[in-house]
Chains A and B, each alone.
Chain A
Amino acid sequence: MKSAKYIFIIISIFIFSILKGQEAQKNQNNIKIPPSELTREQIQKLTYEELLAMPFEDLVILAQKLGISIDELLKMKTTVASKTALTPRETPGIISIISNEEIKNMGARDLIDVLRTIPGINFGYDDAGVISIQMRGNWANEGKVLLIIDGQQFNDLKYNTLQFGRHFDVNQIKRIEIIRGPGSAIYGGNAELGVINIITFSGDDLKKISVTGSYGMMTKKYGHQDLSIAAGTKIKDWDISFKSFVSKGNHSDQKFEYGTIYDFSKEGSGTKDINLNLGIQNKNLSFRAIYDNYGSNCVYKDWVPAASDSLPVTYTEYYKTFASELKYDWHVNKKLTISPKLNYKYNVPYFQESWYTNSEISRYDGNLIANMEVNNNLTITGGTEFFYDYGKMIENTDSSLFDNGKSSVSYNTFSVFMEGTLKTKFANLTIGGRYDNQNESGSAFAPRIGITKTWDKFHIKLLYSKAFRTPSIGNLVFNSDIKPEKTSVMELEAGMKLNNNMFITVNAFNTLIEDPIIWFDVDGEYGYKNDEKTGTWGFELEYKYKFYWGYGNVNYSYYKVNENTVWDYKVPGENSFIGAPQNKITLNSGFYLGKHFSINPTIIYLGKSYMDPDAETDNLIKGRTLANCFVNVINYKLAKKFPVEFGVGVSDIFNQKYPFIQSYRGGQKPYPGPSREVSVRLTVSFEK
């Protein structure tokens, strides 16, 4: 009853705001953006008529903005780390932004290729063919890093996990904004250690139909076969985009020892993905629906009774998600915007054909945010959210039960949050917090305070945040007494603009996770429980340059284990965690060879790391360098309205075959990575 009441209130506000907001919207239509605030992309889209109507002074400003300087990156506004749009130097978070140009130029095959170039991010192996993410040395597969695509959260609803590796279409990404630190004060319970916010192209960005095909061949087997079709348009106030993606791939073509030795060049590491993404916007009303069905092959361990001669060597686990959203921005007046939002998400994670533990989970979510610009210096955002999760078993058998012995479960969570950003002559101050209360695991509060100061060439940030990981359905059905994980993070960043084309930052962090939720399996007893503490501290250096002839990003990241009681994570006698290299150096660069060509080398050095010592006595994995190079040809027009882009490149030129190491004591040897892969990509567009 309580949940119905909350949802009714939010729906009522939603309808009321639409009716009132339409009248106010008529006055918004003629607001023009000053030339100094136009982005480079917006300037390039201006028509002759618009440019010829401008005063010459404005044209001179626009022409200067077309020039290449590092300011293009430093002045981009982002809302990933705060409710107020701020530049990367001002925002109260340690963030990275990666553009479509960089993603396309590096010839990225999937999100692993893109995110590995970001400081502090690496990938490890979970189990059953799942590759997932590490953040600043911490294993972050379950509920610690939040993945958002066009506003929709993609952590699964049972365990809050993420699956990477030939998953999601990178060709339609406009940009990715990453918080390399806690985000719970804004995003709640899955953003404990990081947030990856992916924004794809809108209809106005596209204004065409584009078809992209790509193919990659490893040394012994194909790596990927992808087809991506995107269509978008803007007609009057309607912005409509539709993107589709179909992919088949293989994580690796090498051998994997899992009891038996499996030869992945024959079978066993296949992947499939179908992704459909529809976006519709009319003025302040927006709708989004995304369907994703990702499958990853797994192999049987030879002592598993089910793995007999009558069964196939491999099976596939699927992760099916449907996520939708209806949102309205009601501009009450020039200072106040109220945004009600309704989300529905349906998820079937870890699905195997005819398996008795298959379950499906639905989430009904209502959210209301108010943003007020009190004056030029003070912005306050506050809101409330309520969501209801309902899970049930799919198979209808006596043994089809959750681990608590029930065939269905439900939980609800109520949240309230607020954040204020105050700009003063001394510094910008951001204070905020989020309170979550789940009916089963109790409450968690994540306050944060950020002080940022920018001068002409310098900036500093001093940040303190608490964050949390809410126990998932998968945790609670094992242990209803499990508590949320609580994290404290201190971060300090300093940055300097060396000149118009170069920028450098350094940041230090200290992350302490209390009551970490861990899986245990001891003497026949297994499940989830809270351990005492874990975490890392370290630093990250980043140097960026951008000239008319090219760009580059060089970064170095280092972590060391903080206080840690989780035996499953630590390498005996070392200051590192299992599976996570302490040192990482990356270079992501591009060189323009005129209007149409670019050559783009990427180098990633991953330092030594260790696998589970129980899996192998000699558990050292030596450091390796992954070198990639991609040549990109863009903006060639076959005919007036048929631009073509073509690219060819090599990933892992020196064939290092860096493995994905299981990032806890799971008793498994490393899951092999892909061998050297030659890829080609072709995009053909049809413009209006």
Chain B
Amino acid sequence: MKKIKFSLLCIFILIVLNKQNGYAQDEKFKSIFIYNFTKLIEWPSDNQFPEFIITIYGNSGIISELQSVASKMKVVNKTIVIKQITSFSQLTATNVIYFCKEKTADLANFIAELQRQHILVITEKTNSCELGAAINFTNKSGSLGFEVSPNNINKSGLSVSKQLLSLGTVIGK
């Protein structure tokens, strides 16, 4: 009986220590989706950056996956560069910013500034499009999808193709 209690205690500790909740999302597909988003967005012609920059705000396994994509592909004939920031004050020039789930609380504070700088904002938390995100990843029973807000994309001075709108869930008109 003592051994059974000890075993059950070990299992309980395992459950408590394990911080991850739910079935793991496939970060590989998210990174490839992000690349495809950049192909279906019309970027300002006056953008003078020599590279196409994607900034990850927070900690996420998506960083290494995006680096794999960046090593193979280009966007608007520019080399893709992946940057990571852990506080918003570290943000420098970028074309795309990806808010990790734990950083989405900052979105409302900075969305106006990001839209002024023609930055595509991508998130992974429920209702983020209502807070100003252009594209928000969704997960239903492990099935990856995305919401897209054409209004928020327009506010960022960008244009979205009909193809992208047809593949995601449109939020607002």
Contact = CB atoms under 8 A, between A and B. Distances in A.
Contact of B23 (A60, A65, A549, A653): A549
Interface string B14-45: 11001111111010110011011001100000
Interface stretch (B67-75, B116-124, B147-155): B67-75
A592 interface: yes
Given A593-B18, A597-B18, A64 B143 contact: yes
Contacts of B3: 678
Contacts of B143: 63-69
Nearest to B20: A594
Interface in A232-289: none
Contacts of A68: 23, 141-143
A52 B69 contact: yes
A135 B120 CA distance: 62
A176 B33 CA distance: 36
Nearest to B7: A650
A599 B68 CA distance: 33
Contacts of A593: 14-15, 18, 20
Which of B21, B40, B144 has the most chain A CB atoms closer than 10 A to its own CB? B144
B167 interface: yes
Contact of B14 (A56, A548, A597, A653): A597
A629 to B, nearest CB: 8
A63 B24 CA distance: 13
Interface residues of B, number: 35
A678 B10 CA distance: 14
B23 A592 contact: yes
B140 interface: yes
B30 to A, nearest CB: 9
A67 B144 contact: yes
Interface in A518-548: 547-548
Tell me if A's interface is mostly helix, strand, loop or mixed. mixed
A500 B143 CA distance: 12
Contacts of A501: 141
B72 to A, nearest CB: 6
Given A48-B28, A48-B69, A653 B4 contact: yes
A615 interface: no
A52 B141 contact: no
Interface in A605-660: 629, 631, 650, 653
A48 B72 contact: yes
Interface in B130-171: 140-145, 163-164, 167
A49 B71 CA distance: 11
Contacts of A18: none
A334 interface: no
A501 B15 CA distance: 24
Which of B4, B141, B164 has the most chain A CB atoms closer than 10 A to its own CB? B141
A62 interface: yes
A79 to B, nearest CB: 28
A64 B33 CA distance: 13
B69 A547 contact: no
5 contacts: A56-B163, A63-B33, A592-B22, A593-B18, A650-B4
Q: Give 8 closest A-B pairs by Cβ, nearest first.
A: A67-B143, A594-B20, A548-B23, A63-B144, A548-B142, A595-B24, A68-B142, A67-B142
